[in-house]
Amino acid sequence: MEKRSMHPQLRKFKAGESFILEGPSSIRVVSGEVNSLGVKMLPGQGIVIPEFKSLPFLVEKDCELELRVTGESSLKFSEEYLPKDWVELSEKLASVDRRFTVVVLGDLDSGKSTLTTFLANVLLQRGLKVAVIDADTGQKDLGAPGTIGMKILDKPTPILSGCPEDSAFFVGSTSPAGLIDRSIAGVLVLVNKALKAGVEAVLIDTTGWVYGREARELKTVMINALTPEFIVAIQRRGELESLLRSLVTTSSEIIRVSAPKNVRARSRSERKAIRSRVFRKYLKGGKRITLSMRDIAIQYSFLGSGGELDGEKVDLFQRILGGTIIYGEEFEDFLLLVLDERSPIDTSTLFKLRETVANKALRVLRRSDFKNVLCGLLDKEGCFIGLGILEDVDFKLRKLNIYTSVEERKIAAVQIGSMKVNREGMEEGWIGSWRF
Ligand SMILES: Nc1ncnc2c1ncn2[C@@H]1O[C@H](COP(=O)(O)OP(=O)(O)OP(=O)(O)O)[C@@H](O)[C@H]1O
Ligand SMILES: [Mg+2]
């Protein structure tokens, strides 16, 4: 790894120059004036740029800047500050004289979040009440991984990711695949919240997942349900045309803009590291709490809402499976069995059991399947109040042991996510929705 010398250095820049700073780095204006994503920075003002991110600056007036960078390559001069059509778009939106919603579409690393931030800053400074909805459950600016976040901006900022969100909606995984319904519902819920709060411009930053059947489904249904006034498509080479052609746009105007030349692409491992960092932030100060399955609602899961198995059935199922059942729940159409770790689970015994409970879907799990499952925690109004990790279930006492920084007394419901993560924010894999 590169050695990080972050000693401050003073540098002079000329009006009209533009440059890019790569994080981790920081910038402070000593004299003169710079602009980043529509935000003016004056002497004494500055910003910290996190790792794996880069930020463009335009020198408005000759200036001296104090920079802390990791190496010479962290600072690059560039011809282009922002694409011209981004500035034109911001002017167009600033002149709209009614409430409006904008959906920003684009491939991975096309500049969606940067454009959303830039537009939000311009509109806010023109006096509009602006909300940003971050509908990307993986690479977050607003909110925790696995959620959709919304913030009503109170001040312009070139980096949204430090700002706490006002509201969020738990989807359950860092990937929307298999969770299209929740991803769309989340956007609708948060748009409504923003409009109820009197927001005049709602900007929706979406995932870079734009190819394939499910991605098309997500984008099409979301747009059909929202009927946004504007659909902004960032393209490099017409890659969104096929999606755009399929949209009914009587009430939405499609605006095509270009991708910046200097986007800093992120690798899969960098994306994972960023998610871990944000998970850790949301779990910081956490402790292990115990919630009774009788006192709270459990969603996106069958757990806790079925009937207890009687002793006779337990004996029968144990004989068939040749193992020890430590927990079971029965539903009209579903049977959930949890075996101790030593009990074998093989296809032939499962087949026999399936024949015995012919009218029910069957799920046979082990205690370890309930370990480190990402959860969303809701208050009694059904609002998301934080993340949790289901660390284990006390099947005897019907209790959930959850690691979270949310106060126990505020929790009225637990939503079971579709992935595993540990206290250090490391992802431990995808478990699918409604696993138990
Ligand atoms: N004009 C620009 N000059 C320099 N850096 C830029 C510019 N536009 C974007 N970037 C940087 O490139 C990176 C990727 O941009 P951004 O996050 O906006 O893309 P995205 O399409 O939202 O990506 P994702 O698909 O991960 O959501 C960011 O670090 C961003 O700050
Ligand atoms: Mg983004």
Is 148 in contact with 133 (CB distance < 8 Å)?
A: yes
Q: Are residues 22 and 73 in the same domain?
A: yes
Q: How far is the CA of 388 from the centre of ligand 1 (A)?
A: 29
**Residue linked to tokens 């099947």:** 395
- Ligand 1, from 140, 206, 263: best to mutate by most atoms within 8 Å of Cβ? 263
Is 115 in contact with 257 (CB distance < 8 Å)?
A: yes
Number of domains in the chain: 3
Ligand whose nearest atom lies closest to the CA of 117 = 1
For residue 1, being part of any structural domain is answered with no
Residues 6 or more apart whose Cβ sits within 8 Å of residue 55? 20, 21, 23, 36, 37, 47, 49, 158, 159
**Residue linked to tokens 């659909």:** 231
User: What are phi and psi for residue 431, nearest 5 degrees?
Assistant: -115, 0
> SS3 breakdown of the chain: % helix, strand, coil, rounded to 5?
25, 35, 40
**259 CB near ligand 1 (under 6 Å):** no
How many alpha carbons lie under 13 Å from residue 421 in its C-beta half-sphere?
A: 34
Ligand whose nearest atom lies closest to the CA of 112 = 1
Which of 265, 297, 319 is the last residue in one of the domains?
A: 265
Per-residue confidence band for 2, with pLDDT thresholds at 50, 70 and 90: very low
Task: Give the CATH number of the domain where residue 379 resides.
Answer: 2.40.30.330
Per-residue confidence band for 4, with pLDDT thresholds at 50, 70 and 90: low
Q: Are strands 46-49 and 54-68 parallel, antiparallel or unpaired?
A: unpaired
What per-residue confidence (pLDDT) applies to 346?
86
pLDDT tens sequence across 149-181: 999 999 999 999 988 999 999 999 999 999 999
**136 CB near ligand 1 (under 6 Å):** yes
Q: Are residues 28 and 115 in the same domain?
A: no
pLDDT tens sequence across 221-233: 999 999 999 999 9
What per-residue confidence (pLDDT) applies to 1?
41
Per-residue confidence band for 95, with pLDDT thresholds at 50, 70 and 90: very high
**117 CB near ligand 1 (under 6 Å):** no
Q: Are residues 275 and 211 in the same domain?
A: no
Q: How far is the CA of 59 from the centre of ligand 2 (A)?
A: 25
Name the residue range of residue 138's domain. Answer: 84-265
pLDDT surpassing 80 at residue 249: no
Residues 6 or more apart whose Cβ sits within 8 Å of residue 365? 336, 337, 338, 339, 435, 436
User: What are phi and psi for residue 361, nearest 5 degrees?
Assistant: -75, 150
**263 CB near ligand 1 (under 6 Å):** yes
Which of 77, 94, 110 is the last residue in one of the domains?
A: 77
Task: Give the CATH number of the domain where residue 26 resides.
Answer: 2.60.120.1030
Lowest pLDDT segment from 190-204, 248-262, 400-414:
248-262
Is 331 in contact with 434 (CB distance < 8 Å)?
A: no
Q: Are residues 252 and 325 in the same domain?
A: no
Q: Are residues 220 and 354 in the same domain?
A: no
For residue 2, being part of any structural domain is answered with no
For residue 297, being part of any structural domain is answered with yes
Q: Are residues 94 and 71 in the same domain?
A: no
Question: Residues in the chain, how many?
Answer: 436
